[in-house]
Amino acid sequence: MMRVTITIIRYNPWLIPFAFIAMAIFRLPLYLNKKIQFYKLMGCGKNGTFDKIPDLQQWAILATHPFEKNSLPDPTTDNYILGKFINGWFRFFNCETFTVFLEPIEGHGLWDKKKVFGELLDKKVHEGPIATLTRATIRLSKMSYFWKHVAPVAEKMHTAKGYITSVGIGEIPWIKQATFSIWQSKEDMKAFAYGMKEHAEVVKMTRAQRWYSEDLFVRFAIKGSMGTIRGNNPLKGIV
């Protein structure tokens, strides 16, 4: 069993150069942090899903942590979540951060050819709010198909029943893309994923035409949240 955290970081516009620097120097403290098994430093898109246009003020860190006890980290300590150095960096540059605490419950696929979220079931009973991570490495020969078909459909997610919030994240612009979304229930999420005709057709196309060299889909139970994004905690009063 493990815990997963996704931390969204927003910088003030005049501090964007330091955001780029952070994505380079954070690798060492994350690598040395024994409480982190796997991590990814990523940029964010403008519109909360797959997006060609990056939001240079907003960045993301995903990390997996060995499960120790059923409690959330203490944000008052210097070593919570991502370590003393990174936490101090966020405070020094007055970053706004929003962290979601997650537990993987079901899914399939690989990330960098690894099962980074452990052995997952294909289906598991779950009640209450749920988060999903959909990630793909897009083949260069299929990029035009992806951006023509997938991105417009993904944008409709914002109006779907039960949708709470989402963020587009990625390791490499245009090529390694992911969407992290949060829903009121598993039923609402599935209704969008499988009930919307356009979305279902695009999913079939991605498989039949092999658009991706690697893909991953994971659902998470939401264990808590901390901080705000754009002045708001979208999970306040929900979890």
Residue 193, phi then psi, degrees to nearest 5: -65, -40
Residue 177 has pLDDT above 80, yes or no: yes
Cα separation values, 99 from 60, 81, 86, 227, Å? 10, 9, 14, 6
What is the pLDDT at residue 61?
Answer: 97
Specify whether the CB–CB gap between 37 and 59 falls below 8 A: no
What is the pLDDT at residue 207?
Answer: 85
Confidence of residue 239 (pLDDT cuts 50, 70, 90): confident
Look at 13 and 149; give whichever has higher pLDDT.
13
Least confident of 28-42, 122-136, 163-177: 122-136
Strand ranges (E), the chain: 2-10, 38-45, 54-66, 96-109, 130-138, 163-172, 176-183, 212-227
What is the pLDDT at residue 72?
Answer: 54
* Annotated domain spans of the chain: 2-227
Q: What is the pTM of this model?
A: 0.91
Determine the Cα–Cα distance for residues 129 and 116; give it in Å rounded to an integer.
22
Residue 170 has pLDDT above 50, yes or no: yes
Give the H or E element holding residue 29: helix 27-32
Q: What is the CATH number that goes with domain 2-227? A: 3.30.70.100
